[in-house]
Chains A and B, each alone.
Chain A
Amino acid sequence: MGWKDWLFVRDKECFICRRPGALGYLCPSCSRTLKTWEQEFRPCRRCGRLLCKEYAGELCPQCGEKLPPFRLARAVGPYRGELRRAILEFKYRGRRSLALPLGYLLSRVVAEEPLYGRPRAVIPVPLSSQRLKERAFNQSALLARELSRLLGIKLLEEVLVKVRHTPPQAGLDRLARLQNLQRSFEVVESSRIVGLDVLLVDDVLTTGITAAACTVALLEGGARSVAVVTVATSLF
């Protein structure tokens, strides 16, 4: 990049349709498309998973039964369509450059939802060291890095670790998932998060069990509260 690129904002490419003319990685029309779910659904006040508009309660049935340990979770949109395609491309194909636009979308979610308040640290959901060696990158960490940069919040990448290698969550039922993740996250150097409101970042929130497990570890490690933000979330 030459000096001109810094002085003049050039026409950026929309990361979804690849046409020029994007503001912050998205063209106006794709930006609108990403928000179409708002006509049909609204997020559960606590876990952010999407409920039909007709659903009367503020909370989803699961949160109504037992509130998750995190303060709130929100996502850019449901795990389908372009968003799903982008996540698959990012996570499984390894197109790391998608961290920038997806991180930007995350930052918009956090900035537009007043309930987030002002978190003091961004923390990614970690991978076990074995998985990290196989996969070579942690998608949540890349997202967290962009988010921290865009929001100007400190990034704490090494504080939360996954101590136990567990089989992938996908394909397990709820109970199995719970057992699978029991006590597999741990906080090291808890002095760095004591008393902080932290923002936990992941790519997708489906059952919320991973986020809950991380939250429990963070709270035990001394964090004051934990809020969660993900790129996609499931439909209830």
Chain B
Amino acid sequence: MGLTHRPPLDRRFWELKGYHFMDLVSPCLNLGTAFFVLKHLEERWAAVGYSLSRVDAVLKEVSRRCKVTLARRPAPAGQPLPPEEEARLAGRILSGRILLLEEVGRALAENGVRVTAELADLLHYLYLQGECELRPAVGFDAQGVPKCNRCGQGDKLYRSSCGACGSTHCYVCEGCLELGEARTCRALYARPGAERAGMFPCRTVSPVLPFSLTRAQEEAALQARTFVEEGKCPRCLIWAACGAGKTEVAYGALAAALSRGKEVLYTCPRRETTKEIYRRLQQAFPGVEMTILHGESGSKYAPAQLVAATTHQVLRCYRRFDLIILDEVDAFPLAGDGRLYYGLERSLRPGGQILYMTATPPPELAAQARRRRLPVIYLPARPHGYPLPEPQIILARGLRRPMGRLPRPVVECLRLSLNGDGASLLIFVPAVDLVAQVVDWLLECREFEGLGDWVRGCHAALPERETVLAAFRRGEFPVMVTTTLLERGITLPRLNVMVLFAHHRRIFDQNTLVQIAGRAGRTSSFPQGKVWLVADRITPEMAEACRIIRSFNRLAFQRGYLRAVERRQ
């Protein structure tokens, strides 16, 4: 029993295998419904035991349950199968991927493969041979609840009547729409990655670096290498301080995997970071076949041993990688998004490993690490060997809005930044509309009146944000007010950081605070950058963020990674 978009094809296929009778049992259904009905039929037959005399009874029963009229009709005569050669080519393209029909078409075109047969027929032929899997892009579970088979979620499905399949109950997934419409009536074709034997040679690969690793990095890199070489643990977490250089540590794991001829994926949520990582990987591993996948990358279907991709693209991979390195697990916009984990697990070969990397693990991972279910590799120190700046909490009772006089301690901090250490100051506020208000509030302060244009605001929705950001980078004005959207990605050599209204727990959770604090003290020329949390009260999140940073420093101290310690000895 099976399903098909073209019965004559199946008929011919099974005739060649020695079967001579074939019946159609359902009318033409959309793929999702067809799958649902097929599952019920198979289940029912498995329960009552298959025999010809029971067929009609079972059909009747399943008809009732699935609300589809099932009855036996003779199948049309067979038609020639598509060329074997072309099916092989399509199969090779599909290897390690899960794709919609039109994506397979694009992949063939991109690789310069031309086929004469209809693509749907080719893929169906592969499916009949057991060479590829076929499923509806949006399917139903046993209870008939729809779920997207590409991104795995079921909340962002939109039901509408469909002009393509004619059904009024065709669901479209809006969770992965940017990869093309996953729909009840569309098929996803999937094929596990090719057998590894001989595809990529085993040879010694070691990263080429323009600098040497610090001892902290070296030890962590060795642990990462061992994680891959032993292959005992399926998952592992590199928990690194902000700016500690975790990518270089991942090279240890990468080199171990590449040396064994394994296929590796390096993935991060954002396109810009992915491009940057790709450039760095190319420099570190010359001679390794490498490709990059993101929404706008040109070639998406070239073969490669090392793939850098945005986490979105992972939804197109199928049992392909032996090692996945997931950078910035917690970063916007994937925090708390089940699709990420769903896609990662699926793109892994059976027995494959995942290496998570972050400065601020999401709660699930942190909890697993605490319960020792997830091994952790710590990287607590920055390459320059100075401790992380620990946040200072500044309590300003009754500080709820930018109103009235600027609190005295805030003025002190401003004075220190403006006149004292010559560092720029980045002030984070919890909402977009606060940016302008706080700028005005600061400008009202008498003490800094003579400084001219000394503070400006910048947030993601601001049209001229790039210019403001660039001017701030160039040091044209010393203080910038911004929202958390800039918490990552901004690195200035001399920087102090202030969080205003740090008691806003929803915005300033512990991970955000750790990331913000991580902006300060990144360079050896100015490792003493200050971090001030200005708040009405101390929230648990603030306390936890301080605790995390302190524990990193303590660990770095204990392991002797800090410069001050070396000097003392």
Interface residues in chain A, defined as those with a beta carbon under 8 Å from any beta carbon in chain B: 17, 93-97, 127, 129, 132-138, 142
Contacts and interface: CB of A to CB of B under 8 A. Distances in A.
B154 to A, nearest CB: 14
B170 A136 contact: yes
A74 B145 CA distance: 40
Contacts of B177: 93-95
Contacts of A17: 461
A132 B163 CA distance: 5
Nearest to B157: A97
A135 B158 contact: no
Given A96-B172, A96-B174, A142 B160 contact: yes
Nearest to A89: B177
Nearest to A17: B461
A136 B174 contact: no
Chain B interface residue number, banded: 10 to 19
A5 to B, nearest CB: 14
The winner among A97, A127, A135, A137 for most chain B CB atoms within 10 A is A137
B178 A136 contact: no
Nearest to A136: B164
Contacts of B172: 94, 96
Contact of A96 (B158, B165, B178, B185): B158
B160 A96 contact: yes
A136 B158 contact: no
B501 to A, nearest CB: 18
Contact of B158 (A97, A129, A133, A138): A97
Contacts of A94: 172, 177, 181
A17 B461 CA distance: 9
Contact of B163 (A93, A95, A97, A127): A127
Interface in B263-314: none
B503 interface: no
Nearest to B181: A94
Interface in B139-173: 156, 158, 160-165, 170, 172
9 contacts: A97-B174, A127-B163, A132-B163, A132-B164, A134-B164, A135-B163, A135-B164, A136-B164, A137-B161
A2 B156 CA distance: 17
Contacts of A132: 163-164
Contacts of B162: 136-137
Nearest to A19: B432
A136 B164 CA distance: 4
A97 B157 CA distance: 9
Contact of B164 (A93, A95, A97, A133): A133
3 closest pairs, A vs B, by CB?
A132-B163, A136-B164, A96-B158
A133 B160 contact: no
The winner among B158, B172, B183, B461 for most chain A CB atoms within 10 A is B158
A138 B161 CA distance: 9
B174 A137 contact: no
B272 to A, nearest CB: 21
Interface string B31-71: 00000000000000000000000000000000000000000
Interface in B451-467: 461
Nearest to B186: A136
B58 to A, nearest CB: 33
A142 B177 CA distance: 18
Contacts of A129: 163
Nearest to A134: B164
Given A136-B170, A137-B160, 16 more contacts: A93-B177, A93-B178, A94-B172, A96-B158, A96-B174, A97-B174, A129-B163, A132-B163, A133-B163, A133-B164, A136-B162, A136-B165, A136-B181, A136-B185, A137-B162, A142-B160
B348 to A, nearest CB: 29
A137 B178 contact: no
Contacts of A134: 164
A93 B461 CA distance: 23
The winner among B156, B160, B164, B461 for most chain A CB atoms within 10 A is B160
A138 B178 contact: no
A93 B160 CA distance: 15
A133 B161 CA distance: 12
Nearest to B156: A97
Nearest to A127: B163
Nearest to A142: B160
Interface in B171-191: 172, 174, 177-178, 181, 183, 185
B429 to A, nearest CB: 15
Contacts of B158: 96-97
B477 to A, nearest CB: 27
The winner among A93, A94, A134 for most chain B CB atoms within 10 A is A94
The winner among A95, A127, A136 for most chain B CB atoms within 10 A is A136
Contacts of A127: 163
Nearest to B461: A17
A127 B163 CA distance: 10
Interface string B227-264: 00000000000000000000000000000000000000
The winner among A17, A95, A127, A134 for most chain B CB atoms within 10 A is A95
A133 B165 CA distance: 8
Nearest to B164: A136
B175 to A, nearest CB: 11
Contacts of A133: 163-164
B174 A138 contact: no
A19 to B, nearest CB: 9
A127 B185 CA distance: 20
Contacts of A95: 174, 177
A133 B170 CA distance: 13
A134 to B, nearest CB: 8
B181 A138 contact: no
Contacts of B174: 95-97
A137 B185 CA distance: 13
Nearest to B183: A136
A21 to B, nearest CB: 12
A129 B165 CA distance: 12
A142 B161 CA distance: 9
A155 to B, nearest CB: 12
Interface in B496-514: none
